[in-house]
Structure 1
Amino acid sequence: MEWWRNKKKKQNLERGAKLLVELIECCDGKSNPIKFFSAPQIRKATNNFSKSNQVSELYKFYNKWYSGKNENHPMILIRKSLDLFYGYQEGNLCCDIAISSMVSGQKNFLKLVGCCFEFEDPVMVYNGVRKHDQLHHIISRQPWKRRMMIAEDIATALAYLHTAFPRPFVYRHMWPENVLLVEDGVAKMNDFSYCVSISKGETFVKVYRNY
Protein backbone atom coordinates (compact mmCIF):
# COMPACT_ATOMS: atom_id res chain seq x y z
CA MET A 1 0.00 0.00 0.00
CA GLU A 2 2.97 2.31 0.46
CA TRP A 3 3.54 2.54 -3.30
CA TRP A 4 -0.12 3.49 -3.76
CA ARG A 5 0.10 6.29 -1.19
CA ASN A 6 3.26 7.57 -2.88
CA LYS A 7 1.52 7.48 -6.27
CA LYS A 8 -1.46 9.44 -4.95
CA LYS A 9 0.82 11.97 -3.25
CA LYS A 10 2.74 12.49 -6.51
CA GLN A 11 -0.53 12.86 -8.44
CA ASN A 12 -1.80 15.47 -5.97
CA LEU A 13 1.44 17.45 -6.23
CA GLU A 14 1.37 17.33 -10.03
CA ARG A 15 -2.23 18.53 -10.16
CA GLY A 16 -1.49 21.26 -7.63
CA ALA A 17 1.46 22.45 -9.73
CA LYS A 18 -0.68 22.51 -12.88
CA LEU A 19 -3.38 24.47 -11.08
CA LEU A 20 -0.81 27.01 -9.88
CA VAL A 21 0.43 27.47 -13.46
CA GLU A 22 -3.14 28.01 -14.68
CA LEU A 23 -3.85 30.52 -11.90
CA ILE A 24 -0.73 32.48 -12.81
CA GLU A 25 -1.39 32.39 -16.57
CA CYS A 26 -5.16 32.94 -16.53
CA CYS A 27 -5.65 35.00 -13.40
CA ASP A 28 -2.27 36.73 -12.98
CA GLY A 29 -2.05 34.76 -9.75
CA LYS A 30 -5.31 36.24 -8.45
CA SER A 31 -8.49 34.25 -7.82
CA ASN A 32 -11.19 33.64 -5.27
CA PRO A 33 -10.15 31.26 -2.47
CA ILE A 34 -10.20 27.60 -3.53
CA LYS A 35 -10.80 25.03 -0.80
CA PHE A 36 -9.07 21.67 -1.18
CA PHE A 37 -11.29 18.92 0.18
CA SER A 38 -9.99 15.54 1.32
CA ALA A 39 -11.41 12.31 -0.05
CA PRO A 40 -13.06 11.45 3.33
CA GLN A 41 -14.77 14.86 3.36
CA ILE A 42 -16.22 14.29 -0.11
CA ARG A 43 -17.33 10.74 0.74
CA LYS A 44 -19.03 11.98 3.91
CA ALA A 45 -20.78 14.82 2.07
CA THR A 46 -22.18 12.45 -0.58
CA ASN A 47 -22.78 9.40 1.65
CA ASN A 48 -19.94 7.70 -0.22
CA PHE A 49 -21.36 8.74 -3.62
CA SER A 50 -24.62 6.99 -2.86
CA LYS A 51 -27.28 6.68 -5.53
CA SER A 52 -29.71 8.57 -3.31
CA ASN A 53 -27.42 11.61 -3.49
CA GLN A 54 -26.99 11.43 -7.24
CA VAL A 55 -28.68 14.24 -9.17
CA SER A 56 -30.09 12.33 -12.13
CA GLU A 57 -31.38 15.40 -13.98
CA LEU A 58 -27.81 16.71 -14.27
CA TYR A 59 -26.43 13.49 -15.71
CA LYS A 60 -23.88 13.78 -18.52
CA PHE A 61 -22.17 10.78 -20.05
CA TYR A 62 -18.75 11.97 -18.81
CA ASN A 63 -19.83 13.50 -15.47
CA LYS A 64 -21.92 12.50 -12.49
CA TRP A 65 -23.43 15.07 -10.13
CA TYR A 66 -24.20 14.60 -6.44
CA SER A 67 -25.97 16.74 -3.88
CA GLY A 68 -24.55 16.95 -0.39
CA LYS A 69 -23.66 19.11 2.57
CA ASN A 70 -20.89 19.69 5.08
CA GLU A 71 -20.34 21.67 8.24
CA ASN A 72 -19.79 24.95 6.34
CA HIS A 73 -22.24 24.54 3.46
CA PRO A 74 -25.82 23.30 3.95
CA MET A 75 -26.07 22.60 0.22
CA ILE A 76 -23.33 21.71 -2.25
CA LEU A 77 -23.22 20.21 -5.73
CA ILE A 78 -20.38 17.84 -6.49
CA ARG A 79 -19.29 17.07 -10.04
CA LYS A 80 -17.30 13.86 -10.48
CA SER A 81 -15.69 13.08 -13.83
CA LEU A 82 -16.04 9.53 -15.05
CA ASP A 83 -13.11 7.20 -15.60
CA LEU A 84 -13.86 6.81 -19.31
CA PHE A 85 -13.00 10.45 -19.94
CA TYR A 86 -10.22 10.76 -17.37
CA GLY A 87 -7.52 11.52 -19.95
CA TYR A 88 -9.56 14.39 -21.37
CA GLN A 89 -10.38 15.80 -17.95
CA GLU A 90 -6.84 15.62 -16.63
CA GLY A 91 -5.62 17.96 -19.34
CA ASN A 92 -8.38 20.51 -18.74
CA LEU A 93 -9.21 20.12 -15.05
CA CYS A 94 -6.94 22.89 -13.78
CA CYS A 95 -8.16 25.34 -16.43
CA ASP A 96 -11.73 24.61 -15.34
CA ILE A 97 -10.89 25.20 -11.66
CA ALA A 98 -8.88 28.37 -12.29
CA ILE A 99 -11.49 30.09 -14.45
CA SER A 100 -14.38 28.89 -12.25
CA SER A 101 -12.68 30.59 -9.31
CA MET A 102 -12.46 33.84 -11.29
CA VAL A 103 -16.10 34.02 -12.36
CA SER A 104 -17.70 32.73 -9.16
CA GLY A 105 -18.87 36.20 -8.15
CA GLN A 106 -21.00 36.65 -11.28
CA LYS A 107 -24.60 35.45 -10.92
CA ASN A 108 -24.72 33.56 -14.22
CA PHE A 109 -22.02 31.06 -13.27
CA LEU A 110 -22.10 28.26 -10.71
CA LYS A 111 -20.12 29.39 -7.68
CA LEU A 112 -17.06 27.21 -7.12
CA VAL A 113 -16.38 26.19 -3.51
CA GLY A 114 -13.38 23.94 -4.07
CA CYS A 115 -12.05 20.70 -5.47
CA CYS A 116 -10.53 17.39 -4.48
CA PHE A 117 -7.37 15.97 -6.04
CA GLU A 118 -7.32 12.77 -3.99
CA PHE A 119 -9.55 10.71 -6.30
CA GLU A 120 -8.41 9.16 -9.53
CA ASP A 121 -11.38 10.91 -11.12
CA PRO A 122 -11.38 14.70 -10.61
CA VAL A 123 -13.97 16.24 -8.28
CA MET A 124 -15.24 19.83 -8.20
CA VAL A 125 -17.52 21.28 -5.52
CA TYR A 126 -20.03 24.10 -6.11
CA ASN A 127 -22.51 26.02 -3.99
CA GLY A 128 -25.77 24.10 -4.05
CA VAL A 129 -29.12 25.39 -5.24
CA ARG A 130 -32.60 24.25 -4.19
CA LYS A 131 -33.76 23.48 -7.71
CA HIS A 132 -31.66 22.72 -10.76
CA ASP A 133 -32.09 21.25 -14.19
CA GLN A 134 -30.14 21.23 -17.42
CA LEU A 135 -31.35 23.69 -20.01
CA HIS A 136 -31.95 21.09 -22.73
CA HIS A 137 -34.36 19.15 -20.48
CA ILE A 138 -36.89 21.95 -20.05
CA ILE A 139 -36.29 24.70 -22.63
CA SER A 140 -39.08 23.40 -24.89
CA ARG A 141 -41.57 23.81 -22.03
CA GLN A 142 -40.68 27.45 -21.41
CA PRO A 143 -42.75 30.35 -22.82
CA TRP A 144 -40.96 32.55 -25.33
CA LYS A 145 -40.61 35.40 -22.83
CA ARG A 146 -38.78 33.06 -20.44
CA ARG A 147 -36.60 31.71 -23.27
CA MET A 148 -35.51 35.26 -24.10
CA MET A 149 -34.56 35.87 -20.46
CA ILE A 150 -32.49 32.67 -20.45
CA ALA A 151 -30.77 33.75 -23.67
CA GLU A 152 -30.01 37.11 -22.04
CA ASP A 153 -28.47 35.37 -19.01
CA ILE A 154 -26.22 33.28 -21.27
CA ALA A 155 -25.22 36.33 -23.33
CA THR A 156 -24.39 38.21 -20.11
CA ALA A 157 -22.18 35.34 -18.95
CA LEU A 158 -20.31 35.18 -22.27
CA ALA A 159 -19.90 38.96 -22.34
CA TYR A 160 -18.45 38.80 -18.83
CA LEU A 161 -15.83 36.29 -20.01
CA HIS A 162 -14.99 38.53 -22.95
CA THR A 163 -14.71 41.84 -21.10
CA ALA A 164 -14.18 41.45 -17.34
CA PHE A 165 -10.51 40.45 -17.41
CA PRO A 166 -7.30 41.89 -18.86
CA ARG A 167 -7.21 38.99 -21.36
CA PRO A 168 -10.60 38.02 -22.86
CA PHE A 169 -11.72 34.38 -22.50
CA VAL A 170 -13.45 32.32 -25.17
CA TYR A 171 -15.78 29.68 -23.74
CA ARG A 172 -15.73 27.18 -26.69
CA HIS A 173 -18.04 24.66 -24.98
CA MET A 174 -21.49 26.08 -25.57
CA TRP A 175 -23.76 23.06 -25.02
CA PRO A 176 -27.21 23.16 -23.36
CA GLU A 177 -25.94 20.52 -20.89
CA ASN A 178 -23.51 23.11 -19.49
CA VAL A 179 -26.30 25.55 -18.57
CA LEU A 180 -28.28 24.98 -15.37
CA LEU A 181 -31.58 26.65 -14.53
CA VAL A 182 -31.98 27.22 -10.79
CA GLU A 183 -34.93 27.93 -8.52
CA ASP A 184 -35.33 31.62 -9.41
CA GLY A 185 -35.13 30.88 -13.14
CA VAL A 186 -31.60 32.23 -13.52
CA ALA A 187 -29.35 30.43 -16.02
CA LYS A 188 -25.94 29.45 -14.67
CA MET A 189 -23.05 28.16 -16.79
CA ASN A 190 -20.28 25.80 -15.74
CA ASP A 191 -17.47 23.65 -17.18
CA PHE A 192 -14.57 25.74 -18.49
CA SER A 193 -12.54 22.75 -19.67
CA TYR A 194 -12.17 24.16 -23.18
CA CYS A 195 -11.97 27.83 -22.25
CA VAL A 196 -8.92 29.73 -23.57
CA SER A 197 -7.64 33.26 -23.14
CA ILE A 198 -6.83 35.57 -26.02
CA SER A 199 -3.30 36.91 -25.81
CA LYS A 200 -2.27 40.27 -27.17
CA GLY A 201 -2.16 40.13 -30.97
CA GLU A 202 -4.56 37.18 -31.23
CA THR A 203 -8.15 37.35 -32.43
CA PHE A 204 -11.33 35.36 -31.76
CA VAL A 205 -11.12 33.95 -35.29
CA LYS A 206 -7.61 32.63 -34.73
CA VAL A 207 -8.60 30.97 -31.45
CA TYR A 208 -11.57 29.19 -33.03
CA ARG A 209 -9.49 28.01 -35.99
CA ASN A 210 -7.09 26.35 -33.54
CA TYR A 211 -9.95 24.59 -31.74
Structure 2
Amino acid sequence: MGLVIRTTAELAAITTILLLILATPLAWWLTRSSSWTKDLIAALVALPLVLPPTVIGFYVLVALGPDSPLMALLHPFGIRTLAFTFEGLVIGSLVYSLPFAVQPLRTAFELIGTRPLEIAATMGAGPLDRFLTVVVPLARRGFVSAAILVFAHTVGEFGVVLMIGGAIPGETEVLSTRIYRLVESLDFAAAHRIAAGLLVFSFVALFLLFLADRRFSALER
Protein backbone atom coordinates (compact mmCIF):
# COMPACT_ATOMS: atom_id res chain seq x y z
CA MET A 1 0.00 0.00 0.00
CA GLY A 2 2.86 2.34 0.80
CA LEU A 3 4.26 1.95 -2.71
CA VAL A 4 0.88 2.77 -4.25
CA ILE A 5 0.64 5.96 -2.18
CA ARG A 6 4.19 6.88 -3.15
CA THR A 7 3.51 6.32 -6.85
CA THR A 8 0.34 8.42 -6.64
CA ALA A 9 2.09 11.25 -4.79
CA GLU A 10 5.06 11.23 -7.18
CA LEU A 11 2.78 11.29 -10.21
CA ALA A 12 0.77 14.20 -8.81
CA ALA A 13 3.85 16.16 -7.73
CA ILE A 14 5.71 15.74 -11.04
CA THR A 15 2.59 16.56 -13.05
CA THR A 16 1.97 19.69 -10.97
CA ILE A 17 5.53 20.99 -11.34
CA LEU A 18 5.71 20.31 -15.08
CA LEU A 19 2.28 21.80 -15.76
CA LEU A 20 3.06 24.99 -13.88
CA ILE A 21 6.13 25.34 -16.09
CA LEU A 22 4.36 24.46 -19.34
CA ALA A 23 1.01 26.14 -18.69
CA THR A 24 2.43 29.51 -17.63
CA PRO A 25 3.68 30.66 -21.06
CA LEU A 26 0.65 29.07 -22.74
CA ALA A 27 -1.80 30.87 -20.45
CA TRP A 28 0.12 34.13 -20.91
CA TRP A 29 -0.03 33.78 -24.70
CA LEU A 30 -3.77 33.04 -24.59
CA THR A 31 -4.23 36.15 -22.47
CA ARG A 32 -2.20 38.52 -24.61
CA SER A 33 -2.53 37.15 -28.13
CA SER A 34 -4.92 38.51 -30.74
CA SER A 35 -4.10 35.78 -33.25
CA TRP A 36 -6.92 34.00 -35.06
CA THR A 37 -5.53 30.74 -33.69
CA LYS A 38 -6.15 31.83 -30.09
CA ASP A 39 -9.65 30.35 -29.85
CA LEU A 40 -8.51 27.18 -31.62
CA ILE A 41 -5.69 26.63 -29.12
CA ALA A 42 -8.00 27.50 -26.21
CA ALA A 43 -10.49 24.88 -27.41
CA LEU A 44 -7.75 22.25 -27.68
CA VAL A 45 -6.52 23.07 -24.17
CA ALA A 46 -10.05 22.76 -22.74
CA LEU A 47 -10.82 19.54 -24.65
CA PRO A 48 -9.98 17.21 -21.70
CA LEU A 49 -12.83 18.83 -19.75
CA VAL A 50 -15.44 17.34 -22.08
CA LEU A 51 -13.74 14.25 -23.51
CA PRO A 52 -14.22 10.94 -21.69
CA PRO A 53 -10.99 10.03 -19.86
CA THR A 54 -10.91 6.69 -21.69
CA VAL A 55 -10.81 8.50 -25.04
CA ILE A 56 -7.84 10.59 -23.92
CA GLY A 57 -6.19 7.53 -22.43
CA PHE A 58 -6.70 5.50 -25.60
CA TYR A 59 -5.16 8.06 -27.94
CA VAL A 60 -2.24 8.77 -25.61
CA LEU A 61 -1.70 5.01 -25.33
CA VAL A 62 -1.62 4.73 -29.14
CA ALA A 63 0.76 7.71 -29.37
CA LEU A 64 3.11 6.10 -26.86
CA GLY A 65 2.99 2.67 -28.46
CA PRO A 66 5.96 1.14 -30.31
CA ASP A 67 4.35 1.58 -33.74
CA SER A 68 3.50 5.28 -33.43
CA PRO A 69 5.39 7.92 -35.47
CA LEU A 70 6.08 9.79 -32.23
CA MET A 71 7.87 6.86 -30.62
CA ALA A 72 9.71 6.12 -33.87
CA LEU A 73 11.69 9.31 -33.19
CA LEU A 74 12.93 7.77 -29.94
CA HIS A 75 13.83 4.35 -31.34
CA PRO A 76 17.44 5.40 -32.09
CA PHE A 77 17.82 6.16 -28.38
CA GLY A 78 16.67 2.69 -27.40
CA ILE A 79 13.17 3.78 -26.33
CA ARG A 80 10.51 1.77 -28.16
CA THR A 81 7.46 2.52 -26.05
CA LEU A 82 6.29 4.52 -23.05
CA ALA A 83 2.99 2.67 -22.75
CA PHE A 84 2.48 0.95 -19.39
CA THR A 85 5.31 2.94 -17.80
CA PHE A 86 5.41 5.64 -15.13
CA GLU A 87 6.73 8.10 -17.71
CA GLY A 88 3.67 7.33 -19.82
CA LEU A 89 1.44 8.08 -16.84
CA VAL A 90 3.10 11.47 -16.47
CA ILE A 91 2.48 12.31 -20.13
CA GLY A 92 -1.15 11.24 -19.89
CA SER A 93 -1.61 13.26 -16.69
CA LEU A 94 -0.11 16.34 -18.34
CA VAL A 95 -2.66 16.13 -21.13
CA TYR A 96 -5.60 15.33 -18.87
CA SER A 97 -4.88 18.03 -16.24
CA LEU A 98 -3.73 20.77 -18.63
CA PRO A 99 -6.93 22.86 -18.45
CA PHE A 100 -6.84 22.80 -14.65
CA ALA A 101 -3.50 24.62 -14.83
CA VAL A 102 -4.14 26.93 -17.77
CA GLN A 103 -7.55 28.31 -16.79
CA PRO A 104 -6.65 29.61 -13.28
CA LEU A 105 -3.46 31.16 -14.65
CA ARG A 106 -5.26 32.72 -17.59
CA THR A 107 -7.90 34.22 -15.30
CA ALA A 108 -5.22 35.62 -12.99
CA PHE A 109 -3.30 37.12 -15.92
CA GLU A 110 -6.44 38.74 -17.33
CA LEU A 111 -7.22 40.38 -13.98
CA ILE A 112 -3.83 42.12 -13.97
CA GLY A 113 -4.64 44.19 -17.03
CA THR A 114 -2.11 46.23 -18.98
CA ARG A 115 -1.55 49.21 -16.68
CA PRO A 116 1.05 47.63 -14.35
CA LEU A 117 3.03 46.40 -17.34
CA GLU A 118 2.94 49.81 -18.99
CA ILE A 119 4.26 51.43 -15.81
CA ALA A 120 7.07 48.87 -15.56
CA ALA A 121 7.94 49.44 -19.22
CA THR A 122 8.28 53.20 -18.67
CA MET A 123 10.75 52.40 -15.90
CA GLY A 124 12.93 50.46 -18.34
CA ALA A 125 11.92 46.90 -17.48
CA GLY A 126 12.21 44.42 -20.34
CA PRO A 127 9.51 41.86 -21.26
CA LEU A 128 10.99 39.03 -19.16
CA ASP A 129 11.72 41.37 -16.26
CA ARG A 130 8.14 42.69 -16.38
CA PHE A 131 6.76 39.19 -16.35
CA LEU A 132 8.89 37.95 -13.46
CA THR A 133 8.68 41.04 -11.25
CA VAL A 134 5.17 42.27 -12.05
CA VAL A 135 3.00 39.53 -13.52
CA VAL A 136 4.12 36.57 -11.39
CA PRO A 137 3.66 38.32 -8.01
CA LEU A 138 0.29 39.77 -9.03
CA ALA A 139 -0.87 36.38 -10.36
CA ARG A 140 0.16 34.38 -7.30
CA ARG A 141 -3.49 33.49 -6.62
CA GLY A 142 -3.65 31.81 -10.02
CA PHE A 143 -0.46 29.84 -9.41
CA VAL A 144 -1.67 28.58 -6.03
CA SER A 145 -5.08 27.64 -7.43
CA ALA A 146 -3.52 25.87 -10.41
CA ALA A 147 -1.13 23.90 -8.19
CA ILE A 148 -3.88 22.72 -5.84
CA LEU A 149 -6.29 21.82 -8.64
CA VAL A 150 -3.72 19.94 -10.72
CA PHE A 151 -2.37 17.98 -7.76
CA ALA A 152 -5.83 16.98 -6.52
CA HIS A 153 -7.08 16.19 -10.01
CA THR A 154 -4.07 13.99 -10.74
CA VAL A 155 -4.51 12.07 -7.49
CA GLY A 156 -8.11 11.33 -8.48
CA GLU A 157 -7.42 10.25 -12.08
CA PHE A 158 -8.74 6.84 -13.05
CA GLY A 159 -9.65 6.29 -16.69
CA VAL A 160 -6.53 7.85 -18.15
CA VAL A 161 -4.06 6.16 -15.80
CA LEU A 162 -5.79 2.81 -16.18
CA MET A 163 -5.65 2.96 -19.99
CA ILE A 164 -2.05 4.15 -20.18
CA GLY A 165 -0.50 2.44 -17.16
CA GLY A 166 -2.51 -0.75 -16.91
CA ALA A 167 -2.35 -0.61 -13.08
CA ILE A 168 0.81 -2.74 -12.89
CA PRO A 169 1.51 -3.41 -9.19
CA GLY A 170 4.69 -1.72 -8.04
CA GLU A 171 5.05 0.29 -11.26
CA THR A 172 1.95 2.10 -12.51
CA GLU A 173 -0.69 1.26 -9.92
CA VAL A 174 -2.14 4.33 -8.17
CA LEU A 175 -4.78 4.74 -5.49
CA SER A 176 -7.71 5.08 -7.88
CA THR A 177 -6.83 1.91 -9.77
CA ARG A 178 -6.15 0.08 -6.49
CA ILE A 179 -9.78 0.79 -5.49
CA TYR A 180 -10.92 -0.68 -8.81
CA ARG A 181 -8.89 -3.84 -8.25
CA LEU A 182 -10.19 -4.24 -4.69
CA VAL A 183 -13.80 -3.90 -5.84
CA GLU A 184 -13.17 -6.47 -8.56
CA SER A 185 -11.92 -8.86 -5.90
CA LEU A 186 -14.94 -7.99 -3.68
CA ASP A 187 -12.71 -6.58 -0.93
CA PHE A 188 -15.09 -3.74 -0.17
CA ALA A 189 -13.65 -3.01 3.27
CA ALA A 190 -10.20 -2.21 1.87
CA ALA A 191 -11.73 -0.30 -1.04
CA HIS A 192 -13.78 1.75 1.41
CA ARG A 193 -10.70 2.74 3.41
CA ILE A 194 -8.90 4.06 0.34
CA ALA A 195 -12.02 5.71 -1.08
CA ALA A 196 -12.73 7.42 2.24
CA GLY A 197 -9.15 8.66 2.37
CA LEU A 198 -9.44 10.13 -1.13
CA LEU A 199 -12.76 11.72 -0.18
CA VAL A 200 -11.14 13.45 2.79
CA PHE A 201 -8.15 14.47 0.68
CA SER A 202 -10.38 16.00 -2.01
CA PHE A 203 -12.38 17.92 0.57
CA VAL A 204 -9.22 19.26 2.22
CA ALA A 205 -7.79 20.28 -1.17
CA LEU A 206 -10.93 22.24 -2.06
CA PHE A 207 -11.06 23.77 1.41
CA LEU A 208 -7.46 24.97 1.05
CA LEU A 209 -8.29 26.33 -2.40
CA PHE A 210 -11.20 28.40 -1.08
CA LEU A 211 -9.19 29.45 1.96
CA ALA A 212 -6.29 30.63 -0.20
CA ASP A 213 -8.66 32.48 -2.52
CA ARG A 214 -10.28 34.25 0.42
CA ARG A 215 -6.89 35.18 1.86
CA PHE A 216 -5.68 36.62 -1.43
CA SER A 217 -8.91 38.59 -1.79
CA ALA A 218 -8.37 40.10 1.66
CA LEU A 219 -4.77 41.04 0.83
CA GLU A 220 -5.81 42.74 -2.40
CA ARG A 221 -8.34 45.04 -0.71
Structure with the greater alpha carbon radius of gyration: 2
TM-score normalized with structure 1 length: 0.25
More relative contact order, 1 or 2 (CA 8 Å, 6+ apart): 2
Q: Which has the higher strand share?
A: 1
Counting helix residues as a fraction of each chain, which structure ranks higher?
A: 2
